[in-house]
Amino acid sequence: MSSSTVAVLRVSPENVQSRIVELCQLAGLRGALSPLAATILKDNLSWHYPFPGANTTPWQLEGTIRALRGAGFADLSCVQNDVLAGEDRNHYLPILRTHEVPVLDNFRDTDMKWVRYEPVARMRVLHRIYPEGIFLPNTFFGKNLVHLPTVKGHLYTTTAGAMNNALGGLLPTHRHYTHAWVHETLVDLLAIQKEIHKGLFAVMDGTTAGNGPGPGAMIPMIKNVMLASADQVAIDAIAAKMMGFDPMRLPYIRMAHEAGLGVGRPEEITLLGDGDAAAESWGFKAGDTLASRVRRLLFHTPLVNLLVGASEVYKDYLRWPLHDRRVFTRWKRETRWGQLFEQYERGVPVQLGGGPHKSHEAGIAGYEDPEHEKAMHA
């Protein structure tokens, strides 16, 4: 199986579990990972609140666990750095308990230690960002890693996918220091992952995609697709193309492609599955916010710490209760993906499922109203 292969499938709430298993088989899961190594699941918690499009979905997590177990990978664990809040609000913990997958916190000393690492690859920026040395969680070494990102925009990198997901697992505290050189940071982290892991794979959720300057301030759009690949660059490139961006104009994809860490040119990537879905172009816009523009101006000053704290306060205590919680509630009420999320919320077992793709929701009517557009750019 070529490392430049990406599988894309249309899915529905009725068949998503069985389609994820099929997706992983198409993308060469078994050949991408070492059967002799333990496997880490790295979910994507962009925000500890369950905003649609921002975080790994419960069906994405459960379907990937089922695909791994079906392929013979029994020794699984899930590594997270937001266990108490995000894992609970996004309903991962009951899934992990049901499937007997232990949760490890990369900032809990009893779970893992941060050890100094000297990369073989030339580092673009990490050696300057962390002049005292590059430290990584010791439990990552010698294991397979499966990323679980979503299809969404990002205010610093235009899109955020499999490569971006390494930020939450491999970097110690002060991750915001990397934002001034985030594209180079993502390339450095992918080079490190290729050195320390036995195998890499990604399963990306585009059932509800995030349009806008995420991981916050997004418009949830129902797109009913999922992607998988062993090539972290290729899956990000195809997701970017589907969102409506030219992948090779995104510096992190272009640099990774030029460094030989993966394939970023869509014409060089073999697509499997539903080709018509992979050919879509949704016309997403990355956008920008006033807060992000101010933060970029302060990246190289001590004031960046105050701004990061203020941003968290704004998201958690203003934006979520005044706006985004209503978006989330409406998504749960009015979309079938939201209703599936509520099923996980209520602890109702979700069957493996099967059958044809049946969901035709193209978006959530009323989300793109002037009030929401104004809020996006606040």
Average pLDDT estimate for 128-157 = 94
Q: Are 57 and 343 in contact (CB under 8 A)?
A: no
* Residue 85 falls in which region: left (phi positive, over 0), alpha (psi -120 to 50) or beta: alpha
Is pLDDT above 70 for 279? yes
Specify which of 160-169, 240-249, 304-313 reaches the highest per-range mean pLDDT: 240-249
Query: Which residue type is seen at 333?
Result: R
Q: 41: closest CA among 178, 147, 167, 160? A: 147
Average pLDDT estimate for 181-194 = 96
pLDDT-above-70 percentage for the chain: 81
157: Cα within 13 Å, side-chain hemisphere: 30
pLDDT (tens digit, 9 = 90+) per residue, 76-94? 999 987 555 666 788 999 9
Average pLDDT estimate for 187-191 = 98
Is pLDDT above 50 for 367? no
Report the pLDDT value the prediction gives residue 303, as an integer from 0 to 100.
Answer: 58
- pTM, to two decimals: 0.90
Residue in this structure with the two tokens 């990355």, named with its chain if needed: 286
* Residue 54 falls in which region: left (phi positive, over 0), alpha (psi -120 to 50) or beta: alpha
Average pLDDT estimate for 7-34 = 98
